[in-house]
Structure 1
Amino acid sequence: MNSKTIAYGILRAIAVIVGVLLLLFFLYKIQSILLYITFAAVISLMGRPFVFFLKRKLKFNNLLAVICTLLITIALFFCIFLLFVPIITDQGRLIGEIDIYQIGEKFDRLNQDASDYFSIEKINFPELIKQTEFMEFFDLKAIPDIINTFLNAFGGIMIGLFSVLFISFFLLKDSRLLENSMLVFAKREDETKFKRAFTKIKDLLSRYFVGLLLQVLILFILYAILLLVFGVNNPIAVALIAAIFNLIPYIGPLFGGALVLILATTSHLELDFSTVLLPKLTYILIGYIVIQLIDNFLNQPLIFGNSVKSHPLEIFLAILIFGALFGIGGLIVAVPFYTAIKVVAKEFLSEYKIVKQLTKEL
């Protein structure tokens, strides 16, 4: 091997590394657009079975079926938004009617009752606030910046919603659009395998996202019943928020449970802690844990195991690995990405024993 060949190899390696870095930088700069495409792909995968239903059962043409599906999706999100309105209006009304001294007395009495019941030292909230430098956030000079940030965020949200709906329309209208876009990265001799893998991924992920909707619906109903029984304010909206938190594996139910207990506490500050409030919170916590057990041992194995054709242990390990690598976002996308990796591995690496073992159900 002469010096020219070595130099050429080094230059080629450097060029590849620079190209990869430039590609990663480019993807970083357009991450918001990639996020829009991802959300649109999820909506199209979830709406795909409904489009097929309208076309096959009700004899809608493709365009009408897509429009109806998007309108139903928009109506669903609008109804979810309306559920949060009572919480916002109630909080606004409570802020307008608030009596600082009365609220302070209630919290102080609750703090004292809790410390007496559990035989612990009373929490000094003023000192705790000073130690955390919480009051530094209340700088009047920062109000214009906060307003500008809010307006920019609102404008970004509106642009994002329009972009997601626009992209979703075309992905639903032409189910092969995304596939054809991805085919440009495949070799000509691998196009058949790529198409087969992409079709399988779409089918599995459509079932998975429909399963997610079913899971959220079941949890929402169970949470709503629990909160209605124990008289928590705005039980429907709180139940929906707690159910949506469950989309984040393992961590989400903890946040949802904390939210339920906090709102249950603030709804009954006037009650005696040891005789009324603590038993009520205990019953709510027991009910919440029972619902989580139902979800973990019945809902998830039946819904997700059948939808993505993976063993529960596989899903558990995939969630742990993606969570360790990418944080909370990794927990959310672990199952779909792991499913896509399995399908691609089956098509292109089926000669390996470990791939055969992991993909035998596909």
Structure 2
Amino acid sequence: MTSKELSYGIVRAVAVIAAILLLLLFLYKVATVIVYCIVSVVFSLLLYPLVLFLRRKLKFRNTLAVVVSLLLVIFFISGIVLLFVPLIISQGENLSLLDINSLENNYNRLLNDVTIYLGSHNIDLQQIAKSSNLTSFSNFEFIPNFLNNIVSTIGNIGMGFASVLFISFFILKERSSFSIAFKNVLPVNQKEKVLNSVEKINEMLSKYFLGLLLQLFIILVLYFIVFLIFGVENALIIALLCAVFNIVPYVGPIIATFVAGILIMISSIGTGADFSTETLPTTIYVLIGMFIVQLIDNNVSSPLIFSKSTNSHPLEIFLVILIAGILFGITGMIIAVPFYTSLKVIGKEFLPENRIIKALTKNL
């Protein structure tokens, strides 16, 4: 190899590495847009049966069918919001969420009750807070930041929802054109495998997301029943909040349990209930009930709901979610199962003879 060829090879390698780094940087910068596109594709897959129904049964033109389908979704979500907003406002008033000063007073009273109770058992809460750098939670400094984060999150969700609807409209409207263009760019010798993979992924992800909605509804009902049994104020709104947390596998139920305990204790402030003989025992009983609900979900409802959609062993799913959480945080845990399921479908289609792929996809 001559020096010229060596120099050319080095320059080419550096250029390739630079191009890859620039591509990764670009993908990182537009990660939000990529997420919107992925969500739009999934949303379109779930909505497409309704579009087909309007086109075939009611003889709607394609564009009209898409518009009506999206409007029905908007009306449905708006109805849910309008149904819960009055309840949330009234429950929020009961929880003093609309009165920061009142909430701070209740929070401080709760901390004082907890401190007295633990002090009677020779546990110094203030010393534990200082040694654990948790002093900000004792003076309510975290509330303004928490509220700002909520407002920011609501704004991002609103923008994301609008973006998903806009992208989904064109995906559904131009579905045939996208499908033809997609088929045209596929290599001839791989076209059948790719199309089979897409069809199988479409089927499995549709089942998965519908199953997820059913799972959250079951958890909502069970939590609501537990809260009603123990006479918890604001039962429905707390149950709804805890059910939403369950979207995050494994970590979500822990957060839901912590939030429910805090809200239940705060809501008892001002009712005249004694902390050590009424509030604390009720909270413990409720948390035990929530733990039982999680046992039911983990051992009965979730396996039954997701067994046909993912066709994966529970230990396999646990490891996948754990690895995704370590690498990509909460977002990784949420998308781990559908992404892993898609990879299994692709692996079985393109590498059916590989021993590892064959072992992982034997139930697909």
The TM-score with structure 1 as length reference comes to 0.82
Does residue 41 of the first structure (1) align with residue 41 of the second (2)? Answer: yes
1:98 equivalenced with 2:79 (yes/no): no
**Distance in 1 between residues matched to 2:281 and 2:151, nearest whole Å:** 44
Deviations along 1:128-184, one digit per CA (max 9) or x if unpaired, are 99954987969x9x9xxx99x999887765543322111112223444566567668
Question: Which is worse superposed, 197-206 or 83-92?
Answer: 83-92
Q: Any gaps of 5 or more consecutive residues in structure 1?
A: none
Counterpart for residue 26 of structure 2 = 26
For the residues of structure 2 that align with 1:262 and 1:225, how far apart are their CA atoms? Answer: 19
> Which residue of structure 2 lines up, in the alignment, with residue 237 of structure 1?
237
Q: Which amino acid aligns with 2:332?
A: G
* Cα distance in structure 2, aligned partners of 1:43 and 1:167: 10
Q: CA deviation at 1:348?
A: 1.7
Instruction: Give the equivalent residue in structure 1 for 2:196.
Output: 196
**What is the CA distance between 1:214 and its match in structure 2?**
0.7
SS at match of 2:37: helix
Tell me if structure 1 keeps the 8 A contact 2:205–2:338.
yes
In structure 2, the partner of 1:160 is 160
**Does the CA contact (< 8 Å) of 1:171 and 1:177 recur in 2?**
no
Corresponding residue number in structure 2 for 1:361: 363
Q: Which of 303, 306, 322 pairs up with 2:305?
A: 303
TM-aligned CA deviation for residue 109 of structure 1: 3.8
One-letter amino acid matched to 1:121: D
1:41-190 equivalences in 2 (<5 Å): 41-52=41-52, 62-82=62-82, 83=84, 86-88=87-89, 90-91=91-92, 94=96, 95=99, 98=102, 104=108, 107-116=111-120, 118-121=121-124, 123=126, 131-132=135-136, 158-175=158-175, 186-190=186-190
Q: Which deviations, in whole Å up to 9, do the C-alpha atoms of 1:30-64 show, x marking residues without a partner?
A: 22221221221232233234445555677766445
Contact 2:268 2:279 (8 Å CA) reproduced: yes
Q: For this pair of structures, how many residues does the alignment match? A: 355
After TM superposition, give the deviation of residue 261 of structure 1 in Å: 1.1
- Percent identity between matched residues is 42
Contact kept in structure 1, 2:104 and 2:140, CA below 8 Å: no
Structure 1 residues 261 and 332, CA, compared in 2 at 3 Å: closer, same or farther? same
Residue aligning to 1:318: 320
Q: Deviations over 1:233-291 (max 9, x none)?
A: 33222211111111101100001111111111111123112322222112211110111
Instruction: Give 1:74 shift.
Output: 2.1
- Provide the C-alpha distance between the structure 2 equivalents of 1:260 and 1:250, rounded to a whole number of angstroms: 16
Match of 1:279 in 2: 281
- Measure, in 2, the Cα distance between the counterparts of 1:150 and 1:131: 22
- 2-side partners of 1:153 and 1:100: how far apart? 23
Take 1:280 and 1:151, find their aligned partners in 2: how far apart are those partners?
A: 32
Q: Structure 1 residues 115, 131: closer, same or farther in 2, change over 3 A?
A: closer
Tell whether the 8 Å contact from 1:233 to 1:263 is kept in structure 2 after alignment.
no
Letter in 2 for 1:342: K
CA RMSD of aligned residues (A): 3.7
Matched-pair contact (CA < 8 Å) for 1:219–1:295? yes
Cα distance in structure 1, aligned partners of 2:188 and 2:358: 25
Give the Cα separation in 2 of the matches to 1:175 and 1:272.
62
